[in-house]
Amino acid sequence: MAKRRPAGDNTGVASFDEQIATESRLWVEEGLVSAEQAEAIRSRYVGRERSRRRDRFVRALAFVGAVGVGLGVILFFAANWDGIPEFVRLALLLGGIVGLYAAGDRLTGSRPRIGEALLLLGCLLFGASLFLVGQMFNVSTHDPLAFLVWAAAATAGAVLFRSQAFAALAVVTFGAWMGYELDEADIDEGILVALPLYGAALYAAGTRFRITVLRVLGAATVLVLLVPLTFAGVTDEIARTSPGGVGTALVIALAVAAVALAAALALDRRRPTAVWEAGACCAVVALFGVATAVDVGPLVPNVFLVALALGALAVGYSAAEPWLVSLGLVAIVVEAAIRFFDFFARIMPRSVAFLLGGALVLALAWALERNRSRLAGGTGR
Amino acid sequence: MRRKLFWVFVALQVLVPAAVAGLREADVAFAQHVLLRVEPVDPRDPFRGQYVALGYGISTLPHLGASEGDCAYVRLYRANGEWRGVYAGSREPDDWPYIRGRIEGGRIVFGIERFYTSEDDARRYENALTADRLYADVALGRGGRATLTRLVIRDL
């Protein structure tokens, strides 16, 4: 028999299926409902959960299909581009944008997932058209500007359609604009500072305003871009780089935005972990701010990365957010693997290093999975 | 209201690329055209997948009073069917025609350093570039703004 837990205390990272299974079993044990009634309740919600999963699957399928069609169209044009007169190409691009938006809008009522996918495809084609028109007419503009215009369109779409997919596109294209702008200004090290600050701002904004996609992309950006700093020599490069006008302005603007959004998050009384999450965002700003001035060395970023990953695990468990738990888990496993091979692979035979490293990662995954199952209500799933 | 916003949203996304193309065509139609001799930036591989990387004789002119990041203007003179410059200044010349650029990495960049083309055409241009027969037809708009319209292979 599963370890008895008080009713309502089986949140953790359990799925709704898992939670309802545990709860209904407890209700039967406590004599609140009969076994038949519990089964009826379970099947009622299991059906709903299945429907939600199917909905997610359809959405994923629609997006994959939309992206596939988009790529196909772009590849077709790329292959036959030179044979088509310039103004016909332009008309095809613009007609494609209008057609996709109109079709997406029409289908939004009857087939919402397909409709949303077509709307997104319209925005993808708009972005592609900015670059293709530039090439067709040899327009000499500031290249990164296209990403900024694209990000503005995607943001407008996110607001207009209340679409997480458009929000994700806006986040990615705005990040691409920053990266391209810094690359054009020959400040590649600045990307390693600007994007984590951007990630912290996204996480704070997403958590405060309940936009999951911003949180996922923000947290992932911070954790991924912390990894390069954990290697010797990278922090020295960053500290020695003089970002200049564009880089400095961008980094300051992002740091201010991240701190302001973290402050807004800290004031959110509805979320018990808000203060901790806001603190983590400010800590990211502090770390990268200091790293631009002095060489912090690899130790501090290593400790910081582990602390952030553990924080993600703790917040994920506390707020019942499996994605955050998974992200923290992946970060810890990747960090452990990198450090293992970075330090120990040099002083022992490669086969032993791989054996020990693999065993270490497996043990870590086993321990964390066991903990997840326990929190899921003893269902062992 | 939402429908109106939706169509405004779509119309803006159609207008932006259309305006870029339209303004460029208007620039080219009403501008003065000059023929500039093209010089290779990277003689071994001028074709970068989608475009040919171009350099010009006027890209490496001495720049007087203009430093990194500043605008630079080159007054152009016609000689043997092509247009050349002597130096770049930081002030807009009184006499027309002139071309405007920006100093980047010690060179003057005019925004006409890429020509998008197919691989087959790129090969033709590469050969012409090697033979010193490649010229760029450049439209000069207001304030000396340059637009690359086409590449021209001239007979020797």
For residue A130, the chain B residues in CB contact (below 8 A) are: 16-17, 20
Closest chain A C-alpha to B149 CA, distance in angstroms: 7
b/e map A309-318, b = 16+ CB within 10 Å? bebbbebbbb
CB A373 within 8 A of CB A379: yes
| Rounded average pLDDT over B39-67 | 74
- Examine residue A20 and state whether it is found in any structural domain, yes or no: no
What is the total count of domains within chain A? Answer: 1
Reported ipTM: the value is 0.76
Distance CA B43, CA A365 (A): 54
Residue contact B149–A98, C-beta within 8 A: no
Does the CB of B22 have a partner CB in chain A at under 8 Å?
Answer: no
Does residue A87 come out as left (phi exceeding 0), alpha (psi in the -120 to 50 range) or beta?
Answer: alpha
- Examine residue A150 and state whether it is found in any structural domain, yes or no: yes
The rounded Cα A325 to chain-centroid distance in angstroms is 13
Cβ burial of A208 (10 Å; 0-12, 13-18, 19+) is buried
| Residue A159: predicted pLDDT | 93
- What confidence tens digit (pLDDT) does each residue in B133-145 have? 899 999 998 888 8
- Of chain B, the percentage scoring pLDDT greater than 90 comes to 23
- Of chain B, the percentage scoring pLDDT greater than 70 comes to 93
- Examine residue A77 and state whether it is found in any structural domain, yes or no: no
| Rounded average pLDDT over B42-62 | 73
Residue contact B13–A139, C-beta within 8 A: no
Distance CA A237, CA A292 (A): 9
Mutate to test the interface with B, among A139, A145, A161 (most CBs of B within 10 A): A139
For residue B50, the chain A residues in CB contact (below 8 A) are: 135
Residue contact A140–B111, C-beta within 8 A: yes
| Nearest CA-CA partner of B112 in B51, B154, B66, B65 | B51
| Residue A9: predicted pLDDT | 47
Q: Minimal Cα distance from A125: which residue of B?
A: B13
> Between residues 49 and 68 of chain B, which touch chain A (CB distance below 8 Å)?
50-51
For residue A129, the chain B residues in CB contact (below 8 A) are: 17
| Rounded average pLDDT over B18-32 | 87
Q: Minimal Cα distance from B22: which residue of A?
A: A137
Does the CB of B111 have a partner CB in chain A at under 8 Å?
Answer: yes
- Structural domain boundaries, residue A180: 141-184
Does the CB of B26 have a partner CB in chain A at under 8 Å?
Answer: no
Q: Minimal Cα distance from A94: which residue of B?
A: B14
Classify strands B98-104 and B114-116 as parallel, antiparallel or unpaired: unpaired
Does residue A142 come out as left (phi exceeding 0), alpha (psi in the -120 to 50 range) or beta?
Answer: beta
Closest chain A C-alpha to B11 CA, distance in angstroms: 8
> What is the layout of strands, in order, in the sheet containing B114-116?
B114-116, B51-56, B32-40, B134-140, B146-153
Report which DSSP code applies to B59.
G
Mutate to test the interface with A, among B1, B3, B8, B10 (most CBs of A within 10 A): B10
CB A250 within 8 A of CB A190: yes
Does the CB of B16 have a partner CB in chain A at under 8 Å?
Answer: yes
Nearest to A135 among B6, B110, B116 (CB): B116
- Examine residue A171 and state whether it is found in any structural domain, yes or no: yes
Instruction: pLDDT tens for chain A, 381 residues: list them.
Output: 344 444 444 444 556 777 788 888 888 888 888 888 888 888 877 767 677 777 777 777 777 877 777 777 766 666 566 677 888 888 988 999 999 999 999 988 888 888 888 999 999 999 988 888 888 887 766 778 899 999 999 999 999 999 999 999 999 999 999 999 888 777 777 888 899 999 999 999 999 999 999 999 999 999 999 998 888 888 888 887 766 677 788 889 999 999 999 999 999 888 999 999 999 999 999 999 888 888 888 889 999 999 999 999 999 988 888 889 889 988 988 888 888 777 766 666 767 777 777 787 778 777 766 666 555 554 333
Residue contact B24–A137, C-beta within 8 A: yes
> What is the layout of strands, in order, in the sheet containing B71-79?
B63-64, B82-89, B71-79, B98-104, B107-109
Closest chain A C-alpha to B40 CA, distance in angstroms: 18
Closest chain A C-alpha to B52 CA, distance in angstroms: 11
Residue contact A139–B149, C-beta within 8 A: no
| Residue A70: predicted pLDDT | 72
Nearest to B118 among A82, A130, A141 (CB): A82
Nearest to B147 among A82, A122, A140 (CB): A140
Mutate to test the interface with A, among B9, B51, B112, B117 (most CBs of A within 10 A): B9
Closest chain B C-alpha to A174 CA, distance in angstroms: 17
Other CB atoms within 10 A of residue A284 CB: 27
Closest chain B C-alpha to A90 CA, distance in angstroms: 8
Beta bridge partners of B52: B47, B115
pTM score, whole prediction = 0.77
Domain boundaries, chain B: 1-30, 31-153
- Examine residue A165 and state whether it is found in any structural domain, yes or no: yes
| Residue B73: predicted pLDDT | 92
Closest chain B C-alpha to A337 CA, distance in angstroms: 37
Q: Minimal Cα distance from B121: which residue of A?
A: A82
Beta bridge partners of B35: B137
Residue contact A137–B2, C-beta within 8 A: no
- Examine residue A252 and state whether it is found in any structural domain, yes or no: no
